[in-house]
Amino acid sequence: MKKMIFLGVIGVFAFCAVGHAQSTEVISKKGYKLTVINQDAAFDKAEIAKLEETFFEVYPKLEKEYNKKTLKEVTFLIDTAYGGVAETGGGVVKFSSKYMTKHPKDIDVVTHEVMHIVQDYGNGAGPGWLTEGIADYARNKFGVDNPGAHWTLPEFKSTQNYDNAYRVTARFLIWVEKNYKKDLVKTFDKQLRDHTFTDDSWKKETGKTVDELWTAYAANPAI
């Protein structure tokens, strides 16, 4: 989901403390510390446990695959006022309590959002559509229960384009890896974090521009 740069974790905590009953839990495991701040007293405790379990299952895998220097301390904020699904910034993942209550099986929102922490691209590293596409690529590869949420990659449609982001871009990346460059996502992920990614990176890594790759994909999109 959309990344958000918070002014600071202290500011988030201060926001939480105003006018909201909340609970805080800190879990240290596998070399990581997860702080869970829950503003919603009615939020299902079993759902909180699933959020925590998913973090400790997928985050070490994402760290190993993409960024061994990723943060070891992460905060989950279950927000009663937030109107989206989830967003991430500064090591804090904000979840909408309303959305998660209505969609308790969409647990791999966690996988997508903590991938943003692992990405750690900073400002101006590359196109936002690619950042989100890589996060959904990671959700597709490392998600713990995408079928339970009825979350799948979309079939190709002629109205799509590579810069549609999220699942459309994720599927395209899978196709490019299958047909042109194995581990392209790992390569681009590192380039984006190092701020060495450019529009020419597609051709340097695959021999084709992104537009040429999309044309080939559109002609034979099977993955």
pLDDT, position 105: 97
Instruction: Write out the H or E segment, with its range, that includes residue 45.
Output: helix 45-66
Domain ranges of the chain: 9-119, 128-219
What whole-number distance in Å separates Cα of residue 128 and Cα of residue 122?
A: 11
- How many alpha carbons fall within 13 Å on the CB side of residue 123? 4
Contacts of 30 (CB under 8 A, 6+ apart): 56, 60
Cα of 202 vs its chain's centroid, Å: 22
Q: What pLDDT score does 186 carry?
A: 98
Supply the pLDDT for residue 124. Answer: 86
Which pLDDT score is estimated for 1? 59
| pTM for this entry | 0.90
Amino acid making up residue 17: A
Predicted pLDDT at 222: 97
Can you tell me the distance from the alpha carbon of 179 to that of 160, in angstroms, rounded to the nearest whole number?
19
User: What fold does the segment set 9-119 form as a domain?
Assistant: Neutral Protease; domain 2 (1.10.390)
State the pLDDT at residue 35.
98
**The two three-digit tokens of residue 143, written as one number:** 């998600």
Residues of the chain with pLDDT under 70: 1-20
pLDDT at 17: 45
